Structure 1
Amino acid sequence: MNAKREYLVRTFSRTKRKDYENYILNRIWNRLNRLDLKPVTQQYVKRADGKYALLDLYFPQIHLGVECDEGHHKSNALNDEIRTLEIGKMFQAVKENEIKIERIDATDSIEMIHTKIEEIVQLINKLASNSKIIPWSEDVDYAALAVKKGTLSVYDEFTFRTISEAMRCLGKNYDSLQKSYWKFNERYMMWFPQLSIDIGQGNVSNTRGWINLFNKNWTEIEEKRMEKDYIPLNLPEGKPRDRITFMKVKDPIFKTNKYQFVGIFQWDHIEENSVFYKRVAEEIDLTPYNK
C-alpha cells in the first residue's frame, strides 16, 4: 500500500465536511501541489482555558492553520468546543497561541475566495522555503526518532505499530511481544492497555473483560473488570511501581491499531470494582536506556 496516497485520499474525501469547506480545502491542496508538506484536517487545538477546538486544515511542519468561516459560524474563534475527543489527536493538539491561523470567508464571491486561496498558498510556500522542514513521509521510524531526541512526550506525534516497536524507545529489541503488562525494572512496570470506547446504549468495549477509561481531562485512567462482584487488590505493601503507559488506539485515518505514549501513571485509589491511576509525568527520559 502506498501510505501517502492512501492518507491523502482518505483525508480529503471525508464526507462530514460542509460543501464550501470541502471545496476550499481541496483547492488549497491542489494549488499547493507539493508532497513534502503534510496536511492535517480537523486538527485539535488546545485553547488557553484548557478546552479543545477543531481547525479545518493544518500544516504541522510550518505551524500554519486554515479556518473556513461559513454564514452564522463566522467569527474570530475556532469551531465549537469538542465534546468527544479522540485520544490520538488530543495528545497531538497544538496550542492556539503558538500557531498562525489564516481565515477564508466562504460567503464571499468565488473570485474573492480564489484570491484568498492564492494568498494562502503563497504564504505556505514562503514559510516552507524559509523553514528547515523535514519532508513528510508516512514511513517514519518513530522509535529511532524518539531515541535520537532523547525523550518521549505525550505531545510527540509518535505512534508505534507494535509493542515491540514501542519498546525500542527504551532500548529493548524484542522479535515479538504480546504481553500488555509486565515488570520493566525496579522502578517501572510496562502497561499497554486498550482504550475502551463507547459502543452505544450506555455500553463500552472491553478487552478480555477489562475496561480502560480516561477521565475528561485525560490525566487519570480507570481500570475495571466487567464483573460487578470483582474486588480489586488493595494497595500492596510498599510503593507500587509506576506504569510507563502506551495506550492502544485506532488510527483515525487508516483505522488500524497503534500504540501511543500517554504518560507515566501511578496507583491512586480504589472505588468499588475499579482501580484509578493518575498521571504523574507527561515525559520520560530515554537516555538511560539507550547508552
Structure 2
Amino acid sequence: MRQQKAPIDYQLDYMEHLFFCIKHKKTESYVIHRIWDKLDDMRIRFVVQQKVELPNGRYALADLYLPQIGIFVEINEPFHAFQKKEDDYRNENIIKLTQNDQFIISCGNPNKDGEWLSLNEIHQQIDQCVAFIKERINQIQDLKPWDMSKWLSVEYHKQKGVFKAEDNDQLRTIDDICAVFNTKPKYHGYLRVGTASVPNKEKLEIWYPNIHNRSGWSNHLSEDQDTFEEFNEKDEIKRKKHVDTCIEDNKLRITFFRHKDELGMEFYKFIGIFALDIEESKKQNKCIWRRKSREYKL
C-alpha cells in the first residue's frame, strides 16, 4: 500500500512561495517581511504583485494587498522626478478603481532626489502601517479569517457536503479528493489512472485532469470552463480506442482541474460535472466533455 505523506501546512507553504516570488525585490521583501512579523495575525492574507488595470490600458502591480480589509501597501524606493509622476498616477488610480485604501511607505528622502532614508526612519513608517492595518481589522466585525488550511482539508469538504464551482472549492492532492468520496485512486502497476470510481454510483467517476499529461495525452479547457477536449496527440490508435471506451461507458465526470495560482502553488479545483458529447466526440475523434452542473452533493 502506498503511504501518502501529509503535505506541508498550506499557510506556511503559501508564505514561503510569496517571499520566494519577491526575493529579487530586496526592499519590498524586507518591508513586507517586517509587516508580516509585526502584524503577527494569521487571519490576514497577504497578496503581492496584485494586478490592477489602469485607465491608460496598462497594468499596475501593487506591492502588497490585504483583500479582506481592503488595503494596498506601496513601498517606494528613492526615485527621480519622472518616476514620482508615474507613481502618483498609479497610486491615485489604484485607489479610485478599487475603492480601497492605500498606505505608502517611502524609503527615499522627499527633500533629496534619489537619497535613502535611514533604516530607523523606514521602521517608523512600517510601525505606522501595522498600526493602520490593526485599526482596520478592529473595525471589521464580520472579518472572515484566512483559513485555507481548513478549507483545503478532507474533513471540511465532508462536513460541507457539497462541492460548488462558485465557492472555489479546492483540494491539494488526488488522494485528498478520493478520500472525500471514501475511495482511492486507481493504479495500473505504478501508473495512476486518470479517473477514480465513486462508491455505489456506477455512472459516476472522479476526474482530475491537467493541461498536459505524459505519453501524449492532452486536455484543453475552454475559457468559460464549460468544455473539455481530451485526446492523445501522438497515437491515433490510442486516441480512437479511448473515444470508443468513453462512449461505451458514458459516465458523468466529477471534475477537479489541476491548476497553479499566482504564486505557482498547485491545487485541484472543482469545476463541475461533465458529460460526454457523443456526437461531437465521434465527429472530432476526441472526447468532448460538456459541463452539466456547477455543483455536486456528496
Larger Cα Rg: Structure 1 or Structure 2? 2
**Other-structure match for 1:216:** 223
CA distance in 2, matches of 1:101, 1:243: 44
Higher RCO (CA-CA < 8 Å; seq separation 6+): 1
1:165-201 CA-to-partner distances (Å, cap 9, x unmatched) read 22344xx323x423432553366332122332xxxxx
**Other-structure match for 1:89:** none
Which residue, 195, 204, 221 being the options, matches 1:188? 204
CA RMSD between the two structures: 4.4
Q: Does residue 76 of structure 2 align to residue 66 of structure 1?
A: no
Q: Provide closer, same or farther for how the CA distance between residues 65 and 280 of structure 1 changes in structure 2, counting only shifts above 3 A.
A: farther
**Other-structure match for 2:233:** 226
Give the TM-score of the pair, scaled to structure 2: 0.61
Contact 1:142/1:160, CA 8 A, preserved across alignment: yes
**Structure 1 counterpart of 2:256, which letter?**
F
**Structure 1 counterpart of 2:204, which letter?**
Y
The secondary structure found in structure 2 opposite 1:124 is helix
Contact 1:56/1:65, CA 8 A, preserved across alignment: no
**Structure 2 counterpart of 1:281, which letter?**
S
Residue 211 of structure 1: how far off its partner (Å): 0.7
Contact 1:102/1:120, CA 8 A, preserved across alignment: no
Residue 21 of structure 1: how far off its partner (Å): 3.9
More helix by share: 2
Which residue, 264, 267, 291 being the options, matches 1:279? 291
**Other-structure match for 1:143:** 154
Give the TM-score of the pair, scaled to structure 1: 0.62
**Other-structure match for 1:263:** 272
Aligned counterparts, 1:88-237, within 5 A: 100=100, 102=102, 104=104, 109=110, 117-118=126-127, 120-129=129-138, 130-131=140-141, 133=143, 139-140=149-150, 142-156=153-167, 158-169=169-180, 172-174=181-183, 176-178=184-186, 179-182=193-196, 184=198, 185=201, 188-196=204-212, 206-227=213-234, 229=236, 230-231=239-240, 233=243, 236=247
Q: Percent identity?
A: 24
Q: Provide closer, same or farther for how the CA distance between residues 134 and 144 of structure 1 changes in structure 2, counting only shifts above 3 A.
A: farther
Residue 245 of structure 1: how far off its partner (Å): 0.2
**Other-structure match for 1:202:** none
1:267-290 CA-to-partner distances (Å, cap 9, x unmatched) read 343464433323343333x3xx3x
CA distance in 2, matches of 1:42, 1:154: 26
